[in-house]
Amino acid sequence: MDIPKNLFYTKEHEWALIEGNKARVGITDHAQSRLGDITYVELPAEGKEVKQFEMMASVESVKAASEVYAPLSGKLVSVNSALQASPETVNSSPYKDGWMAIIEIKDESEKAALMDCEKYRKYLESAAE
């Protein structure tokens, strides 16, 4: 399972790449693998305010529908609308082309509630037992 070192993670298997006051976010390799073939991604409108750990987007696979939660609070300054036509990008490239939104970070201290890659790896291992 691919868990890049430079990202932060949530218990619901979202990732955040924090660069300055912005965070690019998406779902993890583990999440896309568990979902299987992703067939639909519903993205919020640009400009929307989201709150940490509240629903931000939804994804559907052949087998199931599931919600995507915001790793951090803030305004969505950009969403990856290319996923509407090719949702399978989330499977093939969860950390790069499969990103879902860019959040303008409202409160830096929320970062403390996220896991780094080591913690997320251990979290996945403990969940597998």
Partner 1 sequence: MQDANNLKNTPLLGEHINLKARMAPFAGWNMPIQYEGIIAEHNHTRAGASLFDICHMGEFYVEGGARETGLDAIFSFSIDEIPLKKCRYGAMLNEKGGIMDDLIVYRIAKNEWMIVVNSATIDKDAAHIRRHLKKGADFKDRSAELAKIDLQGPLSRDVLTELVAPAAGKLGYYTFDFFDVLGENIIISRTGYTGELGYELYISAGKAVALWRLLLGDKRVRPAGLGARDTLRLEMGYSLYGQDVNEDTSPLEAGLERFIDLNGDFIGRDALVGQKKKGVKRKLVAFKSDSRKAPRHHYSIMKDDKEIGSVTSGSFAPSLGCGIGMGYVAAPYAREGEGILIKSGRNEIGAVITQRPFYKNGSARVK
Beta-carbon contacts of residue 5 (< 8 Å; ≥ 6 apart): 117
Pick 62 or 112: Cβ nearer partner 1: 62
Give yes or no for residue 60 binding partner 1 (CB under 8 A): yes
Number of neighbouring beta carbons within 10 Å of residue 26: 27
CB of 124 to partner 1, least distance (A): 16
CB 43 within 8 A of CB 57: yes
Structure tokens at 10: 């949530």
Give yes or no for residue 65 binding partner 1 (CB under 8 A): yes
Pick 73 or 91: Cβ nearer partner 1: 91
- Chain residues binding partner 1 by CB under 8 A are 36-37, 39-40, 42, 58, 60-65, 87
